[in-house]
Amino acid sequence: MLALAGVIAAAGVFFLLRWQRTPSPGELYARIPQDGRVITFIDVRVLRMGGILDLLAGGKSGPEEPDYRQFVADTGFNYKRDLDQLLIASVKGETHAWLNGRFDYSKLEAYARKQGGACASGVCRLSGSTPGRYLSFSRYRAHTIAFASSADPEAVKRLLAEPSALPQPSLPPQPVWFVLPTAVLKDESLLPTGTHTFATALTDAQRVTLALGPREQRFEAFLDVSYQNPDQARQAMRELQAATTLLQRMIAREHKEPNDRDLSGILTKGEFRAEGARLSGKWPIERAFLESLTAPGTQP
């Protein structure tokens, strides 16, 4: 009996520790849909510690609408303080996300019911603000929540299924990164003004990753692209270099200088390198650019 009690106690400790452990981004990445979606990772904790979150949250992109303020009041959850990491897979009409942080799950359940939703079998469901759209969420670990916005009221269950058995790519070490499907790069309506020529050079890629992080006294964007063969990588490098040179000449022709507060100050300073079937690139980003994102009425 003592031996059995010891085994039960050991199993209880094991499952408690597992419940308390926050999954790594790699573990969560293996569970998100990867069928042509834009995948976004944000290490909110790192941005918060570096003061970058406060800089960005104070601008026009900060969610300060009445609905959000009511959500904070009802649940006690404020992303500026309580969210640590966010991993999102989105495609038109559907979003799946993992959130690591500190949550009062009982308050989240109460909020869902207050909004006319229901919670059963570990999954909460409620109607979204858009007709035909549903929100669903579930607690995965003590500090991890799965979330979905979809026409499917139980779309969150896709995250709770078994992880993909396919080999997972190495993920960037930067606090912010994106995996971009080529369909996005081909759609001008989804691209920032002035970036179409650069995006065109990447449309034959197998995988495109763009990462952003601090670099000495400023920030830097890093590009990592894989192709089927070295010729494609070299050709893409030449096209990116040509697009950079063309933009530099256009600005000089107008007797102007690249502006660190908009994309011209970034795109004109790109450096690119092809090694085998991989293409890498980097662009320096001055703090002035991030500050411009928070300036009312400005467009970077």
The Cα 278–Cα 236 span in angstroms is: 10
- Asked whether the predicted pLDDT for residue 65 surpasses 90, the reply is no
Alpha helices in the chain (DSSP H): 2-20, 25-29, 44-49, 52-57, 66-75, 79-82, 105-114, 157-160, 182-186, 196-200, 230-253, 264-267, 287-293
Confidence of residue 58 (pLDDT cuts 50, 70, 90): low
CATH code for the part of the protein at 23-160? 3.40.1000
- Asked whether the predicted pLDDT for residue 20 surpasses 70, the reply is no
Per-residue pLDDT at 202: 94
Per-residue pLDDT at 134: 94
Whose tokens are 């494609």? That residue is 232
- Asked whether the predicted pLDDT for residue 81 surpasses 70, the reply is yes
Q: Which two tokens stand for residue 224?
A: 């990592």
Beta strands 144-150 and 176-179: pairing type? unpaired
- Give ∠ CA 284-288-294 in degrees, rounded to 5: 120
- Asked whether the predicted pLDDT for residue 90 surpasses 60, the reply is yes
Per-residue pLDDT at 92: 86
Q: What percent of the chain is modeled with pLDDT above 90?
A: 59
- Asked whether the predicted pLDDT for residue 2 surpasses 50, the reply is no
Contact status, residue 134 vs residue 95, Cβ threshold 8 Å: no
CATH code for the part of the protein at 176-293? 3.30.980
CB-count burial class (<10 Å; 0-12, 13-18, 19+) for 150:
buried
The Cα 123–Cα 47 span in angstroms is: 30
Contact status, residue 64 vs residue 71, Cβ threshold 8 Å: no
Q: Which of 187, 185, 208 is nearest to 198 (CA)?
A: 185
Confidence of residue 188 (pLDDT cuts 50, 70, 90): confident
The Cα 204–Cα 199 span in angstroms is: 10
CA 187 to chain centre: 19
Confidence of residue 129 (pLDDT cuts 50, 70, 90): confident
The CA distances from residue 124 to 11, 87, 237, in Å, are 29, 20, 47
Q: Which of 262, 281, 261, 265 is nearest to 273 (CA)?
A: 281
Output b/e per residue, 162-181; b: 16+ Cβ within 10 A.
eeeeeeeeebbebbbbbbbb
pLDDT in tens, 250-283: 999 988 888 888 898 899 999 999 999 999 999 9
pLDDT higher at 34 or 175 = 175
Domain boundaries, the chain: 23-160, 176-293
DSSP string, 73-100: HHH---HHHHEEEEEEEEETTEEEEEEE
Length of the chain: 300
Q: Which of 258, 176, 170, 180 is nearest to 214 (CA)?
A: 176
pLDDT in tens, 138-158: 999 999 999 999 999 999 999
Per-residue pLDDT at 61: 45
Provide the whole-model pTM. Answer: 0.88
Residue type, 59: G
SS3 255: coil
Per-residue pLDDT at 63: 47
SS3 192: coil
SS3 215: strand
CA 37 to chain centre: 11
